[in-house]
Structure 1
Amino acid sequence: MRIETSAGPAEIELDEPGAPAFLLVITHGAGGGVDAKDILAVRDSALEAGGVVARVVQPYRAAGRRAPGNADKQDEAWLELVAALRARYPGLPLVQGGRSNGARVACRTAVAAGARGVIALSFPLHPPGKPEKSRRDELLAPGGIEVVVINGGSDPFGIPDPADTAELVVIPKQPHSFRTGFDTIAATVTPWFARWAHLDD
């Protein structure tokens, strides 16, 4: 599926359960793709919980670029494609997610998108070796929207403070791109999907 945005077309991989309970829109890191094992672990958990899962290849990646470019334009395109997906699945609660740069996008746009929660995989708290350039404000931006962060214990991009998230899970000895721990990722997000899908019950 392709969705046109102001930054160009985005490509969407859709997985739909029989009776959807919520919509998860999740995306990749700066130079990565939507088949990363941690993203697939989240997708599988969401499907088991009754979610429609849209794995988004953002316009810059669909065009073959590795750098996302201007953050404001990236966020604008994200909100456009999320709006198109919400129109396709009206009435479903929205959950956003992403890994690395995609986690930043999901956090920055959560309020504007009307998300109930955010799954942030390998949130890059700061550039490697530059803790003074913290992106903590992006985690706090969702104000009231629950953000669940899952990072590797050896991530050179840093690990957020537990006080800044609804839940922080650190997988020991894992770098920025997880090599193991996918069962932990699945176990972490599953109860959150159940919660977010039934907040109005």
Structure 2
Amino acid sequence: MTWHPARKPRLVLAVSHGAGGGIEARDLRALAAALPAHGVSVALVEQPWRVAGKKLAPAPKTLDAGWRGIWPALAARGLPVISGGRSAGARVACRTAAELGAHAVLALSFPLHPPGKPEKSRADELLGAGVPTLVVQGGNDPFGRPVEFPEAPEGTYDLIEVANADHGFAVPKRAGTTQEQALDSITEGVAKWVASLG
């Protein structure tokens, strides 16, 4: 776990990576750099399977167990904890939020379905988080474009679209927006949402 502390923290954001990468992901780094100025201490959490040097993520139940295992260290600071993750990490955050007493969920690049298989929806995980949830999704994410997300009951989740971005929030050069602008839209959107949580 790598901490990026706020000077006067009011919240903790614990955020984990996906099945294909680690805490060096561009969106996780950007949030860790930006949010402490907004009173949010950020903990970038390397999943146990990555720490052990394994190349493939284990089954969802094992991922959930790993998240449960680190939760006491996150809650020990006595501040409300936002449970977050990108891709597979977002699914873990949604599945465990209510059980762990998360204050909210930040779901980055939520994998709504496997690429090319919209019939295999994971919307129930997102809708079942049970706490305020923000989804940040690339406009061209093959795991689910923003227009594919179900209409949610009021207060279930909010969604920020990162125009032209893929699953890793990379934007093509022809997009008319720079990579830096895409990351700014993520950090600004998340900071605004965090401020609304109270």
Of residues 70, 73, 94 in structure 1, which corresponds to 2:81? 94
User: How far does residue 46 in structure 1 lie from its aligned partner after superposition?
Assistant: 2.1
- Report the residue type matching 1:118 in the other structure: V
Q: 5+ unaligned residues in a row in structure 2: which ranges?
A: 171-178
Matched residues in 2 for 1:62 and 1:184: separation? 30
2:163 pairs with one of 160, 167, 172: 172
Equivalent residue number for residue 140 of structure 2: 154
Distance 1:161-1:66 versus aligned 2 partners, 3 A rule: farther
Contact 1:30 1:100 in 2 (8 A): yes
User: Quick one: which of 115, 123, 130 aligns to 2:110?
Assistant: 123
1:45 touches 1:189 (CA, 8 Å); kept in 2? no
Correspondence for 1:19: 8
Question: If the length of structure 1 is used for normalisation, what is the TM-score?
Answer: 0.85
Structure 1 counterpart of 2:193, which letter? W
The letter of the residue matching 1:170 is E
Q: Secondary structure of 2:49's match?
A: helix
Secondary structure at 1:163 match in 2 = coil
1:17-59 CA-to-partner distances (Å, cap 9, x unmatched) read 2222111100111121112111122223321111221100000
1:113 and 2:89 matched: no
Q: How far apart, CA to CA, are the structure 2 residues paired with 1:162 and 1:62?
A: 37
Contact 1:79 1:112 in 2 (8 A): no
Is 2:45 the partner of 1:44? Answer: no
- 8 Å CA contact 2:127–2:152 kept in 1: the answer is no
Shift in Å, 1:184:
0.7
Amino acid at match of 2:169: F
2:51 equivalent to 1:70: no
How many residue pairs get aligned? The number is: 183
For residue 24 of structure 2, what is the aligned residue in structure 1? 35
Q: Secondary structure at the match of 2:31?
A: helix
1:120 CA drift (Å): 0.9
- Within 5 Å, which residues of 2 pair with 1:136-151? 136-143=123-130, 145-151=131-137
The amino acid across from 1:100 in the alignment is S
Question: Tell me, what secondary structure is at the counterpart of 1:47?
Answer: helix
Looking at structure 2, the residues matched to 50 and 131 of structure 1 have their Cα atoms a distance apart, in angstroms, of 38
